[in-house]
Amino acid sequence: MKKKFTYIFAGLAVVLGMSACVKDLDVTPIDPNLVLLDDPSFLFNKCYANLALAGNGGANGDCDIDGLDGGTTGFIRQLWNSNELTTDEAVCGWGDEGISSFVFNSYDASHPMLRGYYYRLYAGITYCNHYLEVASEHDATMTAEIRFLRALHYYLAMDAFGNIPFTTTVSSDLAEQYTRDKVFAFLEEELKDIEKDLSEPRVKKDTEPGYGRVDKAAAWLLLARMYLNAKVYTGSERWSDAATYAKKVMDSPYDLNRSGNGGYSAYQLLFMADNGETSATTEAIFPILQDGLTTTSWGTTLFLIASTTNDEIITGTSEGWAGNRARRDLLLKFFPQGDAPNVDKDEMVVRAGDDRAIFWGIGRTLDVEDVSTFTNGFSVAKFNNLRSDGGSAHDSQFVDTDFFLLRAAEAWLTYAEATARANGGTVTAEGVKAINDLRSRANASTKNSYTLDEILDEWSREFYFEGRRRVDLVRYGYFGGNNNYNWQWKGGNYSGTSFEEYRNIFAIPTTDLTANEKLSQNDGYNK
């Protein structure tokens, strides 16, 4: 699939217009000379491609979302911006419209990047609905995979935007607005129902059929994530269910990658150009595939590499945009005394005593006094386009590095946190072991006990800059609202200040409210 994506997409003439996406989730082509094709293989691949590419033409082709560009609507890019720049992990001083309101937690219903993220998710839902309408009888496993992808898109929309428009058909009728708990109930039933038809979990490399496609473990891990955050979404705790489904992943063939290669640590292999070919695939439950020649994008892993580095750091791509970097608060997770050294990334992990501390400190300041200055804040060198075998990537600009959207380590931390919360906040012996498994893999010191706040720190150390931090802070009650958890520039104040709790979710874009009279704005944004 990875090597054939671009050629398959070229045969799929689907153009999604702004009015279609916003008003009724229809996929009627804007150009009357184009027709929707019903070939199951084309439609199937397009549903996956929505997560990796902006459109059929790759990085420099037309975007699927009319009126927006590929960077603005790139799935990983906007998942990342909304869940990282709003938190204690990342900061950026670019002048692009919407960046500063992410960084200072002042976003509203007209935010252009949130609008792009919203439409990208609903484009994906529309593609999945179309496949299920015309090809659901073609192959039971393929149908289950598309139902999973639709569930994933709806989960992310519900998590980000709260009460959302919902439909399982492609229709000119205006979509009804579902509450979060109603979406949750649909997703729970859907993921459990498709389990029987999904493939059995099996670790695969990108040279094998099926790499990049979801299986039962993906459904289990998404259910575990939903249950871990169930109190946020529905008001009811589901800790035991979260632990149960996390354990199913832990007991599957997927595992933590525990083997390094070519002088790179086991953790570093997860974020390199050949991560689809090495032992890193042990952890890759759902990789978003990238290839520097055939699947090019400004909004996927190239964004994660280029936006966080400049020409000082060798990354395997000619792109270095000098934008996103770590807030001081992220470095404190590895250097709690605030003594992070001004050294390169290789020396940094040695000083931290943790293979995950992949930061560049040369010429950088720990404090971000000036948000617009790239050297204020340590650079994150976690992602790169280098091969662990010393070979060359496919292209000097676009990257081969797959993005592991769902990886097994999430099950380990989910299990530790869920069992602790079910146990009144005390981490169980099994939970301690799960945390120590992660820390041992990173050659970090281990302990015999952990607190819930220490688990939150471990979420950050393991998954920083992977596009999930806002979700964890909201679950802990440390994001919006009056709490004692601050970070630099939180709420637009250098020392950090609380911002409104309603900002735990984002606003439904004004353009969608205007187009669909059945939608109401999320509380707080209509003041």
pLDDT reported for residue 366: 98
Inter-residue contact 120 to 50 (CB < 8 Å): yes
- Cβ atoms within 10 A of the Cβ of 360, count? 24
- Cβ atoms within 10 A of the Cβ of 255, count? 18
Inter-residue contact 15 to 36 (CB < 8 Å): no
Inter-residue contact 216 to 201 (CB < 8 Å): yes
Q: Please tell me the distance from the alpha carbon of residue 229 to that of residue 363, in angstroms, as a whole number.
A: 39
Residue 238 carries which DSSP code?
-
Token code pair at residue 152? 């994933």
Angle between the N-to-C axes of helices 140-161 and 40-49, in degrees from 0 to 180, rounded to the nearest 10: 30
Q: What is the mean pLDDT of residues 110-129?
A: 96
261 φ/ψ angles, rounded to the nearest 5 degrees: -165, 140
What is the model's pTM? 0.93
5 φ/ψ angles, rounded to the nearest 5 degrees: -50, -55
Read off the pLDDT of residues 263-285 as tens digits, 9 standing for 90 and up. Answer: 999 999 999 999 999 999 999 99
379 φ/ψ angles, rounded to the nearest 5 degrees: -80, 145
Identify the three-state secondary structure at position 192. Answer: helix
C-alpha distances (whole Å) from 157 to each of 119, 326, 479 are 10, 26, 18
Percent with pLDDT over 70 in the chain:
93
Q: What is the mean pLDDT of residues 476-482?
A: 98
Q: What is the mean pLDDT of residues 202-230?
A: 97
pLDDT above 90 (res 9) = no
Inter-residue contact 362 to 343 (CB < 8 Å): yes
- Closest by Cα among 46, 44, 63 to 6: 46
Question: How many residues does this entry show for the chain?
Answer: 527
Amino acid at 188: E
**What mean pLDDT, rounded, does the chain reach?**
92
Q: What is the mean pLDDT of residues 9-13?
A: 30
pLDDT reported for residue 527: 58
Q: What is the mean pLDDT of residues 364-382?
A: 98
pLDDT above 70 (res 33) = no
pLDDT reported for residue 37: 58
pLDDT above 90 (res 180) = yes
Q: Please tell me the distance from the alpha carbon of residue 399 to that of residue 320, in angstroms, as a whole number.
A: 13
Percent with pLDDT over 90 in the chain:
88
Q: CA 475 from chain center: how many Å?
A: 17
Q: What is the mean pLDDT of residues 82-103?
A: 97
Indicate the burial class of 509 (C-beta count within 10 angstroms; 0-12, 13-18, 19 or more): buried
Q: Please tell me the distance from the alpha carbon of residue 458 to that of residue 467, in angstroms, as a whole number.
A: 15
Q: Please tell me the distance from the alpha carbon of residue 160 to that of residue 138, in angstroms, as a whole number.
A: 33
Token code pair at residue 461? 């150390």
